[in-house]
Amino acid sequence: MQKGQGLGFKRQRIELEACPTCKGKAVVEGVFYEQICTACNGSGWVVLGSGLVLPSDELVTQLSFKLQQAQREIDGLQQGPSISGPAAYYQQNNRRGAGGTNYTGD
Ligand SMILES: [Zn+2]
């Protein structure tokens, strides 16, 4: 019995960790050139705890989840500390400047 594999359910999120063989770089130093790391299928990631490599189709989905998560974190950082309420509206409105001109000269 494998749990979480049933059809019609949300895709299971598999926790990943950096591949210990290539240190998450997806490639290993060959003698003359870099080679795709076979321990992680060239992804740089293995299953957390077991160190198993995911099959390519599953790997793509899990990497997508991971990338989406990372992107959300980046977006959060770029927005800075969240300001809400009337103060946020005031600041945003103020920044646009009178007349909405975009004068970039000096
Ligand atoms: Zn690897």
Q: Could you please report the per-residue DSSP string of 73-101?
A: HHHHHHH-S---SHHHHHHHHHHH-GGG-
Q: Is 70 exceeded by the pLDDT of residue 8?
A: no
pTM of the model: 0.58
Q: Using CB atoms within 10 Å of the CB of residue 43, give its burial: 0 to 12 exposed, 13 to 18 middle, 19+ buried.
A: buried
pLDDT value, residue 106: 67
Is the model's pLDDT at 18 over the cut of 70? yes
Report CA(36)–ligand 1 centroid distance (Å): 8
- 3 alpha carbon to ligand 1 midpoint, in Å? 27
**In the chain, % of residues over pLDDT 70:** 67
Rg (CA), the chain: 22
Q: Report CA(96)–ligand 1 centroid distance (Å).
A: 48
Share the mean pLDDT of the chain. Answer: 81
Where is pLDDT greater, at 8 or 69?
69
**Predicted confidence (pLDDT) per residue in 26-64, tens digit:** 999 988 999 999 999 999 999 999 999 999 899 999 999
CA 26/CA 48 separation, integer angstroms: 16
Residues in the 5 Å CB sphere of ion ligand 1: 19, 21-22, 37, 39-40
